Structure 1
């Protein structure tokens, strides 16, 4: 996406970053600051909601799954306090249902991790009536499958037998998949 297709950041460049992965949060804050934003970081749902209530940001990047709850609660708080805010939801566990929920609550876009600062900036600054460009480096089919299996495994409280049953997969096959490293 070229700079002509992006709307300008504007006078209010406040950006709320909510993620419980502290190294990622710091890297993203530095990268977004270089792009003209004024980032403020939060490592939890509670901290994100407190900042959104006290100083509603013009832009926000919120992780979906946080240690203390669901990032969609932060999205909802931002929407209540500042309806014109541009919000991007990030997640390592991409699913259609959560993407729909994020957009219904007012997120401008939904990106799968790992998303780089350029993708996030493009999503934040894209015109509201335009579709964002396709990702430069989309996840491979093997990676999407692995992410889905990991998500179901986490939702089943890391119970291999229950996960295998829900995925209609043999338990030993699932154990071999879980023992391997994630595909690129």
Structure 2
């Protein structure tokens, strides 16, 4: 992972622009918060879905970066709560368990981008401040065969509404094998 360091003078938002960061990785969360503060954001942090929802209810942010898997639930619940507030919050999902199905779900709920961990502050800032219609850069390396398999499993898992037994049945796979696959991070 690259350093989550200070920004150039050209990489800043208007002072007072609010940003909510929701991630259960405390050290990463605090480093990212410091890096975003140097870029002009007024940062609020939350380390759980419950804490994120409370902050959204108190005052919806202008920008949000939400981790997908949190200790007490799914970060998409925070994305959905922000969207229900009706504000024009620019949201991105940040996760170490990235897959196409959850990316599509996140975008349908109102997220503007989906970044896989490890992501540095520059990538997060670029995703948050990208102008509408501006495209993200195409990745240099295509997905590996292991990654494609993992993506397919994740897509079926999401189609089955995260029901492990039903997903295993549809994939003709033993339930425990599927649970082990789901517990691991995505292959590169």
Q: Tell me how far apart the structure 2 counterparts of residues 113 and 137 of structure 1 sit (CA, whole Å).
A: 16
The residue number in structure 1 matching 2:127 is 123
The Cα shift of 1:144 comes to 7.1
Residue 18 of structure 1 corresponds to 22
1:63 corresponding residue in structure 2: 67
> 1:18: how far off?
0.1
> Over aligned residues, Cα RMSD in angstroms?
3.6
Residue 136 of structure 2 is aligned to residue 132 of structure 1: yes
Match of 2:112 in 1: 108
Deviations 1:145-168 (A, max 9, x none): 679889x8xx798xxxxx998877
Name the TM-score, length of structure 1 as normaliser.
Answer: 0.72
* Mapping for residues 10-89 of structure 1, pairs under 5 Å: 10-89=14-93
Deviation at 1:77, TM superposition (A): 1.4
- Which shifted more, 79-88 or 118-127? 79-88
1:86–1:143 CA distance, 2 compared to 1 (3 A): same
Deviations 1:77-98 (A, max 9, x none): 1122252111010111111111
Partner Cα distance (2:138, 2:16) in 1: 27
1:81-137 superposed Cα distances (whole Å, 9 cap, x missing partner)? 252111010111111111111001100101111111111100000012222223588
Tell which deviates more after alignment, 48-57 or 31-40. Answer: 31-40
Kindly indicate whether the alpha-carbon contact (under 8 Å) linking 1:8 and 1:125 is maintained by their aligned counterparts in 2.
no
Stretches of structure 2 lacking an aligned partner (at least 5 in a row)? 1-9
Gaps of 5+ in 1: 1-5, 158-162
SS in structure 2 at match of 1:97: helix
Looking at structure 2, the residues matched to 115 and 69 of structure 1 have their Cα atoms a distance apart, in angstroms, of 21
Following superposition, which runs of at least 4 residues in structure 1 exceed 4 angstroms of deviation?
A: 135-150, 163-170, 181-184
- 1:26 CA drift (Å): 0.9
Q: Could you tell me whether the CA contact under 8 Å between 1:88 and 1:110 is conserved in 2?
A: yes
